[in-house]
Amino acid sequence: MCFVLKSKERRIYGYLCNPLTKSRPSFRLCVLCRYTTKNKWETDPAELARVKRWSDDAGAQKAIAVKYPDNVVSIQQGKKDKCKI
């Protein structure tokens, strides 16, 4: 799902994804990937297309998977460690 955050002269484009489909199915990661300045209020369809290509890109998905490994054991271990005093 691609989106744009708008202010008067700036736009931030991004997308939502869930890199943790196995361990945390309801998790959503907001990936902000384009920052532009604009003079018109309308969203630039070319920018949204660029974000869509980025969200489908294997390299981007691999980079996200490095930071958010979908490993149930590591998630459970993390929860266990947080409870230790």
Phi-psi region of 16 (alpha: psi -120 to 50; beta: other; left: phi over 0): beta
Express each pLDDT in 22-40 by its tens digit: 999 999 999 999 999 887 7
pTM recorded for the entire structure: 0.74
pLDDT of residue 72: 62
26: part of which helix (H) or strand (E)?
none
Domain borders along the chain are 2-83
